[in-house]
Amino acid sequence: MPAPTIYYIRHGETQWNAEGRLQGVQDVPLNTVGRAQAERAGLILAELFARDGRERSELSFVASPLGRARTTMELVRGTLQLPPYDYAIDERLREIGYGRWEGSTLAEMEVADPKLFAERQAAKWMVSPPGGESYVEVEQRVTKWYAQVDTDTVAVAHGGTARALMVALGFETPQSAADLYIEQGVVYVFSTGSLTKYG
């Protein structure tokens, strides 16, 4: 039996994204660019569903509990002409926690704790920020989420959880995924043996 297809969307841009600040579990709202990116992702989804003969109302929809992901999902569903709030929330899809580093830029983190910053840059998948979590931990919870997905699903979450899913499914290694840029306003399609970006 083929694995379910995951239509994965990273939330739209926030002001902290624009400023290069780590958001983690902070609830920073979408900015104007981010709202447009969410609507664009909805249009891309509509095109994919039309191409593949998919009935949009038959898929599952799930989002991270963080506001930027939920707003993105609601804009995506609105673009698809579906009821905006009719989707599930799963805590396992929340962004990686950056602990005391949340709200900081990389340059600010390096100044604040150069030793730990260097350690994490050398082994980003394994090393946790102070009070935060490692990518290994994120990979574990995303793997548990994926294991219970039993139908084709639209998921709206974060860059960190996208990297973790790519590693969990064997599309990337921890080394290649650690600094991989996950785009906003596009759709990543995870299907049996393939990962394709549309946008």
The one-letter amino acid code at 67 reads G
Secondary element (H or E) of residue 58: none
Catalytic residue among 13, 95, 102, 172: 95
Is 11 an annotated catalytic residue?
yes
Catalytic residue among 11, 13, 133, 139: 11
What are the structure tokens assigned to 37, written together? 């990116």
Is 139 an annotated catalytic residue?
no
Among residues 7, 5, 21, 9, the alpha carbon closest in space to that of 158 is found at 9
Among residues 198, 184, 189, 188, the alpha carbon closest in space to that of 23 is found at 184
Dist CA 128 CA 117 (whole Å): 10
What are the structure tokens assigned to 115, written together? 């030793």
DSSP assignment of 131-166 equals: TS--HHHHHHHHHHHHHT--S-EEEEE-HHHHHHHH
Active-site residues: which are they?
11, 95
